[in-house]
Structure 1
Amino acid sequence: MSETQAISDPYAGLGIRKNSDGSFTRIRPIVDETPACPDPPISVPILTKDVPINPPNNTWARLYLPRSQIQSSAKLPLIVFFHGGGFTVASAASSFFHSFCSEIALHLHALMVSVDYRNAPEHRLPAAYDDCMEALRWVESGDEWLTDHADFSNCYIMGSSAGGNIALHVGLQVSQRVEEVAPVRIRGLILHQPFFGGVERTASEIRLAENEIIPLYLTDTLWDLALPIGANRDHEFSNPCKGLMEVDKIVSEGWRILVTGYEGDLLIDRQMELAKLLKEKGVMVVEDFREGGFHGIEFSDQSFARALYPVLNNFILHV
């Protein structure tokens, strides 16, 4: 499909059809999925399983546990992960997120909880924020992998792309209501190539407007599908730098925030703007902005993924 065709039907590439009454119909899945495997062959180093969170909302989580931990009494760092997909496509079962979480659990020797939240446009924001906040409250619910192997006092909230946006907004909520997730104690947020927007174009959005991976018309379409009806891209969900963004509790709790990005991603200017604003507000920010690359490069190029794991490891091990 050419860019002209895509702009005339911006939903087609998302596997969505807009109906004459304004509703939407999903016409096909656009990402492959990988099933969980709680008892894989002995050569597979990570065990995975799916567990329900809120069955009426069809929300659930995929857990990732290093096999080497099964016979150990040591507790692992806990990473609660929110997948990307522009709030609209993909799931915790999407193959590239499954592989990504498996590798992080292996390289960081951590227990990961990847949350499957409700997607837009059927469930516009703040539905995803609500689902992920509920998932954090659910974590200490009694699943044996978590109670037996997770260090609830050493938890990180992580998200990739739209999941990075969710990680920020949910982190802001949790910082104000830490008692709701006790005994889970958050240590920091990991915003991996987070997805933000705004009405006024940034230099990187203009420079990379026709980028093949995530062109500007696509980000606009995703925000149109995800934001509350009638809201524009300067809504606080899309553009937190325009909002009040109360971070006093994040500062007082001593949380750190890691923000990652690549110069080849049209979102890079917004990611850097957020990191700058957070630092100005007194948050301990770790930046990992790199030359080259593009949005989601770690999912397709293992050399970039291997470079990311030490960054994550150093962030989590930092005291």
Structure 2
Amino acid sequence: MNAKNSDFGSFAQDVLLGLSSNPKTLSSKYFYDEKGDKLFQDIMALPEYYLTRKEFEILESQHEQILRPVLESGEPFNLVELGAGDGLKTKILLRYLRDNQVDFSYFPIDFSGSVLKELKESLVQEMPDLKVTTIENTYRGALKERAWDNGKRSLILFLGSNLGNFQLKEAYEILDHLMIGTNHSDWVIIGFDLKKHPQITLNAYNDPTGVTRAFNLNLLARINKELGANFDLDSFIHWPSYDPISGECRSYLVSTKRQQVYFSSNQETIHFEAFESIFMEVSKKYNLIEIGELAERSGFKVIQNFTDPETYFADCLWQKK
């Protein structure tokens, strides 16, 4: 998916601003073009990438308990998903709701139009009677616009440790938007990757087959394609690190030589020193006490935390106060 005309300017602006800053940085939201979507699906299938597997395990074994408080009223509701992706895990909930003849409408939100198109096509095949309205937007934009606001209560899904892709200050800002984008007594199911052995965490972002490296480098390839840059992908190495105190796993691309990158779209040049890095992504891990503090600070109450048997991951049911 090429950037839409309306988005081209912001993409170019964000890229050049990030690469002109010190230290250099690129926004992880731009990972997800058509090739990036496919690479991330490959990442989710890696044996080292436990996150998807563990959350799938939670939803598959505990979906009835997770949804029970939401369904007790018997009222119709909106199921709104931030960062829907391919919907693999969400389909566990969708099938359960369909099989129990629950009256609900599904609003998947994603920054990637290509992944939303694939998700809707798969849902039409698998659950043709499902009411689906896709929303191509950012988390902040979608929560501000509230296209699903029709007087019904809402259940917001924020699965896959997506909140972990923001540093703590930004995570609070996202939760502030979540508070604004919900009404009193609305529900939230939010996924968190939990703190665990540091090596297990680091391995999830440094697979030996190089898929995660390719995923990061694909953003440089996208910049070459869409902004007319001349990044030499072979002159960058992928370098992840994990800080067990902050819980932040950070990914970098490191230039292996002194070089210049030229942008033909606007005739800008970006200089790299040898072994200068680009900060690509953060994936923050939490413990259950920190999760409770996030909820309280953001105007939600924790109803229950659902974890896998190894306590690698948690899906937490919150309700707006």
Normalized against structure 2, the TM-score is what? 0.36
Higher-Rg member (1/2): 2
Q: Which has the higher contact order (CA 8 A, sep 6+)?
A: 2
TM-score w.r.t. structure 1 length?
0.36
